[in-house]
Chains A and B, each alone.
Chain A
C-alpha cells in the first residue's frame, strides 16, 4: 500500500471513503457483511485447510487494489505459467522431452506420488491437463511479485472472489460508481465455456457439463453447489453417475443423460474404484476406461498433480523457457531443496530466518516460520528435517506487501497474498481479480484461514 511513506496512488481514492466512515458505521457495516455471508451460507474453509466447516472466514471490507498496468503484467505472467505447466504435463505423460534433455531430474517426475501411470500416453482434448490453474502470489516490491505455489488440481476459493465482490457492491454501491472497477462476474460463464471447449472427440453435440462433488460433508461443498448454480450445470455425486457402454451417464428424472465433461472436485485416488482405490465410494466404476477411450473429459485431468508438487515448483521457470522459449515473467521464490546435502546445510544453519515447508503439505500446517518461532520450536523442527530431509524445502522469509485493513483501532497495514484463477481450454482466460487473503494478526505472514487469516475483495482499476 505504501511507497516512500506515501499511500500508493491506487489507494488514494479510497482515503476519503474511509475518512467518511466513523467507527460506529464501520462496525455496523462489518456486522452487515457477516450477516450476508451467513445468509448465503459461505462458511467453508479455503484450500482444504480442514477445521470447522461452519466457521465464517473473517471478511475485511477494505479492498485490495491493482492498477490496470500492474494487472496486465501479472496477467501475462500467470497465463504464461499456466501454458507452461500444461505443456509440462502433456510432455511427462508423453515422450518426457524435458527429462531427456536433463532439465528436470527423472526421479522428481517419475517417482513422484502424483505421477499417474494410468494416463501415460494420453493427450486430453486440446492438450490441457489443468483447466483451472490457481497461482498463489505475493508482492514484495512495487514491481516484484513472487509465485509461492501453483495449484493445478482443483484450486478452491473462487466462490470467495465472486461473493466478496457481490457483498461489496451491495454494501457500498457508491464505491462502484466512483471507481472504474473491472468486473469479475464473467468467471462462471468463462469456466462453463472453458469446460465445454474441452469436450471429448466422441461428443457430437452441445456438451453436457457436470460438477462431481464428494458431497455435503466436504468443506468446499458450498463452492461446488455455488459454481454449479452460477454455470447452470448439474451438481452430482459419484452415485448419480454410471458407466454404460462407451459413455458416462447421469441419472435424471427424465432418464439417463450422457455427460461429456466432468469438473471433478474429488482427488484422483477416488475417481474410479476399478483403476484407483478399490474402496472408493465417491467415484464412478469404469470412469477411467471411458476417459481414456475419449468418451468423457475429466477436469482437471487425472495426473495433473505432478505439476504442482513443491519439489517440481522449482523447475517451473525452466518449463517456461523449455516449452515456450520465453523468459519467465513471474519469479519463483528462491527455494532450497533439503534433499540436496549442500542446500540442507544452508537451511539448517539459517533456520531462524527461513520458512520451511513439507514438500507435499498444504494449508500452512507442518511448516516453520523461523523469525516467528521460539528456539525450542526451531530445535524440534530441525530434528524433523534431519530425520527426513527429502520431505522439506525452505524459502527466505519474504517482506510481503501489506494492504490497509480494518482493525480494532482503525486502519492498519496487514500482510496479504493473492490467488487468481487462470482458465485453460480453447482459450487462456483470466478475470481481472482473484482471492486476496489477509493475515489479520499484526506482523503475521500466515494468511491461512485456519491460522487467523481473512479475505478481501480484489480490485483492478481501469485506466
Chain B
C-alpha cells in the first residue's frame, strides 16, 4: 500500500517560553514492511540539531527553538510504501541485543495479576510464537478498549486492574506479561490507517514487539486490534515503554503552562 501521513502537533504556552528543546523519533526506518518515499518534518522557527540513527535502528533528530515563543507546530508530512509481513520485522538494521529488552520499567512492571495472566496464556504450549498470540488475546480480553479511562502515566498493572484502556495500555500490558515469561519485549510507536468497519482506531498508534528466538526476529502484536501489524501500520520507533519510545520528547524553558493539540490523518493513495 502507499499511505500518506499528515501529523500535526501544536504546542501552545499561555505565557511565552524562553526556548524549547525537542528530540524526535518521527522518521520511519526502511525495512521489508515499509519504505518511506518522501518524508518531511518541520518545526516552526526550529533550528535543526544533531541527528543520528540509534542502536535500535531509529532516526533520532534534535530540534531547538529560541524564545520567546508561545506557539510551536511540529508538522510531519510523508508518503510511505508498506507491505504486509505478518507482523515480522525483517530487514530492519539494529544493534541492541534482545535481552536488553527484559528490563523492567515503572510502566511495565508485572504485578501478580499480570504475571497470572501471562502464566495462563503460556499454559499448554512451549512455542513462544504461540504464547505471544495467546498473550495478545488474553490482554485484549482483560482490557477493554475505552478511551478516557487511563492517561499517559497509567502503568500496565493499573490498566489491568481497571479493565479498560487504550493502545498504550494494551502495549504496556503485553510487554509486562512477555517479560515476566522471559521474552524480550518492547514498545513501538507509529501510525495506523483506519479501515472501514474494523475495531477501535487511533491513527497515532502503539503496539508491542516480542522477540521470537526461533525466528531470530521481532514480531509485532497489536492487542488493541487483536492482530499483528500489516500494511496499514507505519512503524516510527521503539523503546522500553511509551515514554522511552515517544515520537516527541521535549521540554520548554519557562513557566508557561503547555497545551497540546494533535491531529493525525492517514490515507491510502489510490493506485
Contact = CB atoms under 8 A, between A and B. Distances in A.
Nearest to B249: A274
Interface residues of B, number: 32
A106 B213 CA distance: 15
Contacts of B48: 245-246
Interface stretch (B31-39, B98-106, B202-210): B98-106
Contacts of B61: 289
Given A246-B49, A274-B21, A285-B250, 18 more contacts: A95-B95, A110-B100, A111-B99, A111-B102, A118-B54, A118-B55, A120-B54, A243-B64, A245-B64, A246-B48, A274-B251, A286-B62, A288-B23, A289-B52, A290-B49, A291-B50, A292-B54, A293-B62
A119 interface: yes
Contacts of A243: 21, 49, 62, 64
Contacts of A121: 53-55, 95
A94 B55 CA distance: 9
B66 A244 contact: yes
Contacts of B249: 274-275
Contact of B60 (A107, A244, A292, A294): A292
30 contacts: A96-B97, A106-B97, A107-B99, A110-B102, A111-B99, A111-B103, A120-B54, A121-B55, A122-B55, A242-B19, A243-B21, A243-B62, A244-B19, A244-B47, A244-B66, A245-B49, A274-B21, A274-B23, A274-B251, A275-B249, A285-B21, A286-B23, A286-B49, A286-B62, A289-B23, A289-B60, A290-B49, A290-B50, A292-B60, A293-B52
Contacts of B191: none
Given A285-B251, A289-B52, A120 B96 contact: yes
Interface of A: 93-96, 99, 106-107, 109-111, 113, 115, 117-122, 242-246, 273-275, 278, 285-286, 288-295
A287 to B, nearest CB: 9
Nearest to A119: B55
Contacts of A122: 55
A44 B66 CA distance: 39
Residue from A96, A243, A273, A289 having most chain B Cβ neighbours under 10 A: A289
A404 B149 CA distance: 70
Interface string B249-269: 111010000000000000000
B97 A292 contact: no
A106 B100 CA distance: 10
Given A111-B102, A111-B103, A273-B251, A117 B64 contact: no
A289 B97 contact: no
B1 interface: no
B48 to A, nearest CB: 7
Given A243-B62, A244-B64, A274-B21, A117 B96 contact: yes
Contact of A117 (B22, B23, B56): B56
Contact of B243 (A109, A118, A278): A278
Contacts, number: 100
B51 interface: yes
B240 interface: yes
A293 B95 contact: no
B251 A115 contact: no
Given A120-B95, A274-B21, A293-B62, A245 B52 contact: no
B66 A246 contact: no
Contacts of A291: 50
A286 B243 contact: no
Contacts of A290: 49-50, 62
A99 to B, nearest CB: 8
B97 A110 contact: yes
Interface in B221-267: 240, 243, 249-251, 253
A360 B251 CA distance: 32
Given A111-B102, A243-B62, A243-B64, A293 B240 contact: no
B99 A106 contact: yes
A34 B55 CA distance: 51
Contacts of A96: 97
